[in-house]
Structure 1
Amino acid sequence: MAPRPDATRDGRRDRRRSPRRILAGVTALAVLAPVVVVTGYAYAGDVPRGTTVLGIEIGGRDAADAAQALRTGLARQSDRLAAPVPVRLGDNARDTRVIPGEVGLGVDVDATVRAASVGGANPFTLLFGSRAVAPVVTVDAARLDEVLREDVGEDARAMRIPAITFDGTTARAVRPRPGRGLDPQRSAQALRDGWLGGHPVLVPLVDVHPVTTADEVEQLLTELAEPAVAAPVTVTTDRGTITVPPAAIAQSLLLTADQTGRITPRVDEGKLRAALAAPLARIETPARDATVSTVAGKPKLVDGRDGQRLDTAALSRDLLAVLPERDARVVRGGFTPAAPAVTGDLLASLGIKEQVSTFTTTFTGGLSSPRSQNIVRIAEEVDGAIVRPGAVFSLNEHTGERGYAQGYKDAPVIIDGKLTPGVGGGASQFTTTLFNASYYAGLEDVEHKPHSYHFSRYPSVIESTIFYPNLDLKFRNNTPYGVLIHTSYTADSITVSMWSTKLYDSVTTEWSARRDITKPRTVILEPGPSCIATDGIDGFTQDAFRIIRQDGKQLKREKFTWTYQAEPRFICGGSQS
């Protein structure tokens, strides 16, 4: 058989290319070359050429440059993007408007650039045309829902939220019922799709069903709520055993739903602790706050102490596991350290190192007098109080009600313009002493009210009365250091001192002359134990100026003004003269 023309004698092909094959290869290169060039040109950068977003050219750039170009272009369209969006709600097309800035409606620039960088466009189209990419729109669905709900109107029908509540220890079910309203996610999507379309955005109303169904409510009632209050739960601890009675379980077991209608059973720790206050007091050790006391005229730090507290957070979770059982319910309780609210390290950092002010007022009657005993009682309650930088001290908040139960006694108080026996009389003298100690420490006056009448035992104008809960004394620690309030007393005086770090050279007072003086009138009162006779006191108006000096210069000059009424001359029985 004759050899093929393109084969050698040993049967191998001739490696020389035929002219036809060479021509085909050249032709293919000629065709592909423009495609490669066009593709390379069109896809130069991260974003293909010819790409626009809202008419803003971002093509042919890397991602960072495209994002900057888009931000710049959006800034030029800020009026359009911030304009109120017309919205139509529900079947009856109730019209409202949404302000983009109020609901987080805007363009996510980085996400839009990433979407534009995906490619997929015909390179010849990009070379000779353009590609418009829709912006990635953001919106706060929850905030939008809040705004739209105000305008839904009569088309909406609230769903009945399911719950199981307790009347005493009787469980009662509130079964769910569907409503009609907004679906936050569908509303948000409608706004994303229609925001820049130039037409009102149609937001639908839909049937809204509570997540927890009526059957599930019934199951919770029979399998959890009713067994939960059928018997007490015993809690064993290393410090003894306590009982959680059904009433405490009913108070702390929460079977109410969230706004979607979902019931997630839980035991509220705060309510459980409140319901178990008495038994917890038997097994817990309270923490002791660090304090500052004065020893030999100097402040001394008394460190705090950790306490031991039943871990009611864990107990709340463990109770849920046994509440479906109707008997033999026992839970093991553990303890956690209870740190003091005020630690030694905190007090050490407050700069309480020296006395910055002190003030003393005197009283008569000795310590056997009920009035004097009231002064001592309130002084003991305030002694050692720490006022942190920036904090406001309220005397009423610190002591609470000052009544018989708190150890206060009957003594004269001013009620309706005359002295009358009343519980807590004398507290105003301490209040005046405390006010002056804060005043001369340079602390900020927040609230105080001088007496209606002027008593010579107090400095005029710069004094204060108090009456729980309506009249209070408040001052702010407007220094960078803590303030310790120290009180002391003798048989005829009460002293309040402030300890901190000294800021001012001096705090002094200048008084104006008294003016607009009025004379007392005589008033005849019915004789009896409630009548307290007085000699009468002149009324007048006066100014007091607090002058604070620092670094040898006057830092502040504050004016206080008060008008005292003339205290009548009260006579118990007899005739007016």
Structure 2
Amino acid sequence: MPVSLPGEERPGADDRPTVQITAVTWPVAAPGAEPQPAPGTESQPAVASPPEPQPARRGRRLAVLAAAVTTVVVAGIAGAGSYAYSGDIPRGTQVLGVEVGGKSRAAAEAALQGELTRRAPELNAPIDVRIGEGNVTVAPQEIGLHIDVAATVDEAAGSEPSLLGRLFGSHEVPPVVRLDTEKLDALLQPVARKQGRAMTQPAISYRGTTVKVVHPEPGLVLDTATTAQKIQDSWLTRGPVEAPLVEQYPEMSRAEVDELAEGLARPAVAAPVTVKTDGGKITISPRAIAASLTFTLDDSRRLTGQVDAKRLRDALVDELPKVEREAKDATVTIAGGKPKVVPDRAGRRLDVSTLAGDLIAVLARTDDRTVSAGFRPVQAKTTAKDVAKLGIREKVAGFTTYFTGGIALPRNHNIAVVADTVDGVVIKPGEVFSLNGFTGERGYAQGYKDAPVILNGKLVPAVGGGISQFTTTLFNAIYYAGLEDVFHQPHSYWYSRYPSVIESTIFYPSLDFKFRNNTPNGIVLDTSYNDSSITVTVWGTKVYDKVTTEWGPKRNISNPRTVHLEDGPSCLATNGTQGFSQDAWRIFVQNGKEVKRERFSWTYDAEPRYICRPKSRS
């Protein structure tokens, strides 16, 4: 007959199995035959014995029955165990109220995903996060808030309920909830910063040579990790979320900052430091030390003092020339009417990077503030071999313009200064020479003086006046050498000391003069001057036999107007000149024949006649 395990209902109550026992019949010996051994027992020799009493026979029957019942129970338990442990997920396991026990992983994931789809409106509802007195509404999608279905099923598969729990009970496995902490932090920080306070990091700096100390103070910042965990824990129950603000302390204490200020920052600027080199001594003043000694937060967010090498070099701008030597490029000089290579010279620069590191050990001392430093060699950009290969062999072209008043006159002095600056410059094949770029600013510091310049159509005194005459001289020299004109601009008014059209003005930094060495050989610019003239000569290797100019007639001639100005140092009287338009052709001649010509055109304004007195009202 069917036998149910204890506590189990009969079939029909649920889908749990019913274990049935099959009746067992043992073989019975025929009359007169020897008894047969029971299955699983060894055969014994037959021995004649008297008949057993009746009670003993009943006991043996009971033992046989008990053994049979035991076998049936064991078989039932084995069957129940097979049922309880079937599938990837233990029976009785639920997630979010969904039965996943007894299922394969794939089936469990599908069941759980279906529940999440059903509850999507609920799960996608915004979450209110309270930060101090502020509030942020967060959409789950914005922070990647979701249930990791695969990880949740893994958790369910790894749970270990008891056998009875698997057969008769149920247990809930919480889902694995994940979110993107960085995205959450980005959403909450704008409000968190308003509700909290920024941490004050320590700082040490100088105002002049006075030490300024900023002591550290704790900040009140968002605890993003705890907030994320609260959101994960309360998401499914829709509980409120309070984002905690916690104090965040700097790595350095107030006492440690004071110790650094007293131990390094203040003694560093208490006295100068002497630097000894093979080229002599220089002094690092307290002000130069303050300009180069910096205190910054390292990777561990602690202040450390270090000397900035670049700042140190800038601070020593007046001291370094005493021991350093600039490299000098090889160039060409003209001696006896022939070009001669002047060798290059290596330079040396103070090894400021190494000095900056060694200086730190000295700055904390109150005496023996001396440190040694070495040099780094600096090679010339152009060597004598480089120049020799350039093929500078002969005079290609030259041009001279004239002035009055002697070389001591301010405008003529300026011409001499720029001529000395440009003298000997070597221009390699293909290079573009910029006059502004080569000389840089032409101001008082470079030795230039105030002299008249044309500004907004009027002659006014300005530093560097007269440079346009040198520019015109240089332009004509490269023009007749056949070199490529990249950019030039003639004057607004024509001056008779210059050839019309083929002349050039200049103004730093807005108006430049540029040309290209478009020959296969190098060229060198040779300048010379006296009390009445400036000459620029181009040396290299000739490409053309001759370069000449043909001018067209003047046209569109206009007469000057008269302008009365207030008398004073800024008023420069002029006689005025006519305005006109004109063309000029540069003609290239090779083997006695014209091979090319270029047209240059310009229109000059009529220069007003400026009178330095107000116009009479009579």
Q: Give the TM-score, by structure 2 length.
A: 0.56
Aligned counterparts, 1:422-501, within 5 A: 422-479=462-519, 481-501=521-541
Change (3 A) 1:454 1:159: farther
Amino acid at match of 1:272: L
1:384 matched to 2:424? The reply is yes
Aligned to 2:334, which of 294, 297, 306? 294
Q: 2:392 aligns with which of 340, 349, 352?
A: 352
Q: 1-side partners of 2:547 and 2:220: how far apart?
A: 68
Change in 2 beyond 3 A, CA 1:343/1:532 = same
Contact 1:210 1:261 in 2 (8 A): no
Q: Report if the CA contact (8 A) 2:200-2:250 is conserved.
A: no
- Which of 243, 247, 255 does residue 295 from structure 2 map onto? 255
Is residue 511–residue 543 contact of structure 1 (8 Å, CA) maintained in 2?
yes
The DSSP-based 3-state class of the residue aligned with 1:277 is: coil
Q: Distance in 2 between matches of 1:159 and 1:347?
A: 62
1:515 corresponds to: 555
Q: 1:270 aligns with which of 307, 310, 321?
A: 310
Match of 1:394 in 2: 434
| Partner in structure 2 of residue 244 of structure 1 | 284
- 1:316 pairs, out of 349, 356, 364, with 356
1:208-255: CA deviation from partner (whole Å, max 9, x where unpaired): x99975677666444433332233323233444433222111111233
- Residues 401-455 of structure 1 show CA distances to partners (whole Å, capped at 9, x for unaligned) of 4455544455443344344455544321111111222333344444432111112
| In 2, Cα distance between equivalents of 1:162 and 1:298 | 68
Residues 92 and 245 of structure 1: CA distance in aligned 2, closer, same or farther (over 3 Å):
farther
C-alpha contact (below 8 Å) 1:267/1:320 kept by paired residues: yes
Question: Does the aligned pair in 2 maintain the 1:212–1:262 contact within 8 Å?
Answer: yes
Task: Choose 1 or 2 for highest CA Rg.
Answer: 2
Distance 1:388 1:316, change over 3 A: farther
Question: Aligned AA for 2:395?
Answer: Q
Deviations 1:356-408 (A, max 9, x none): 33222233345465443433332222211233445443333433444555444
Partner in structure 2 of residue 361 of structure 1: 401
Counterparts of residues 11-410 of structure 1 (less than 5 Å): 154=190, 163-173=203-213, 220-257=260-297, 265-367=305-407, 369-403=409-443, 406-409=446-449
Q: CA deviation at 1:496?
A: 1.0
Unmatched 5+ stretches in structure 2: 1-135, 143-181, 225-245
Cα offset, 1:549, TM superposition: 6.9
C-alpha displacement of 1:480: 5.2
Whole-Å separation in 2 of the counterparts to 1:332 and 1:503: 55
Query: In 2 relative to 1, CA 554–249 (structure 1 residues): closer, same or farther, beyond 3 Å?
Result: farther
For residues 553 and 268 of structure 1, do their structure 2 counterparts lie closer, same or farther at Cα, with a shift above 3 Å needed? Answer: farther
Shift of the 521–356 alpha-carbon distance from structure 1 to 2, 3 Å rule, reads same
Output the CA distance in 2 between the equivalents of 1:394 and 1:234.
42
Displacement of 1:336 in angstroms is: 4.0
Q: Deviations over 1:503-548 (max 9, x none)?
A: 4555444444433221222334556776554443221223344455
Alpha-carbon offset, residue 301 of structure 1 = 0.9
Q: Structure 1: any 5+ residue segments left out of the alignment?
A: 1-89, 97-144, 184-206
Distance 1:281 1:316 in 2: 18
Equivalent positions of 1:509-548 (< 5 A) are 509-525=549-565, 532-546=572-586
CA distance in 2, matches of 1:468, 1:553: 40
Taking the aligned partners of 1:424 and 1:241, their CA distance within structure 2 comes to: 37
Letter in 2 for 1:438: I
Note if contact 2:396-2:542 (Cα within 8 Å) is conserved in structure 1. Answer: yes
- Cα-Cα RMSD: 4.7
The DSSP-based 3-state class of the residue aligned with 1:278 is coil
CA contact (8 A) 1:212 1:263 kept: no
**Aligned counterpart, 1:29:** none
Count of aligned pairs: 417
CA deviations on 1:475-512 (whole Å, 9 max, x unpaired) are 34455544321112344332112223444555444444
Report the Cα distance in structure 2 between the residues aligned to 1:278 and 1:384, rounded to whole angstroms: 28
The percent of aligned pairs where both chains have the same amino acid is 56
Structure 2 vs 1, CA of residues 557 and 277 (structure 1 numbering), >3 Å: closer, same or farther?
same
